Amino acid sequence: MTSNIAESINNANRLARKLLVVSLLDFMRITIQSWSAKHSEEAGQTKTDLTEPYNKILEDNREISHRMTVSPSTQFLHTVTDGARRFTVCL
């Protein structure tokens, strides 16, 4: 698989392009969904060797983040809600 997402999708959809539009879109959805799941599993198994103070900060932030919800507004703009507090994040 190449590192360029567009090339990867074009290569994966090479044979599916002959399908009807709805079938093609469904094929693309399933393909991207499986890629995301695969890479998510790989990322979850990655072990980070940080020094103890920084690892503690990271774990504390992770626990705090479980209470928050993120709603995308645009591609780069997201709203993060933590209880009654709401923040806008621009990535």
Question: Lowest-pLDDT range, 45-49, 52-56, 64-68, 81-85?
Answer: 45-49
Q: Please state the pTM of the whole predicted model.
A: 0.42
pLDDT computed for residue 3 by the predictor: 62
Q: What is the pLDDT of residues 3-24, one digit of tens each?
A: 677 888 888 888 888 888 898 8
Distances (CA, A) of 58 to 48, 52, 71, 79, 84: 10, 10, 22, 21, 24
CB 71 within 8 A of CB 78: yes
pLDDT computed for residue 76 by the predictor: 87
Average predicted confidence (pLDDT) for the chain: 85
Q: What integer is the mean pLDDT of 18-41?
A: 86
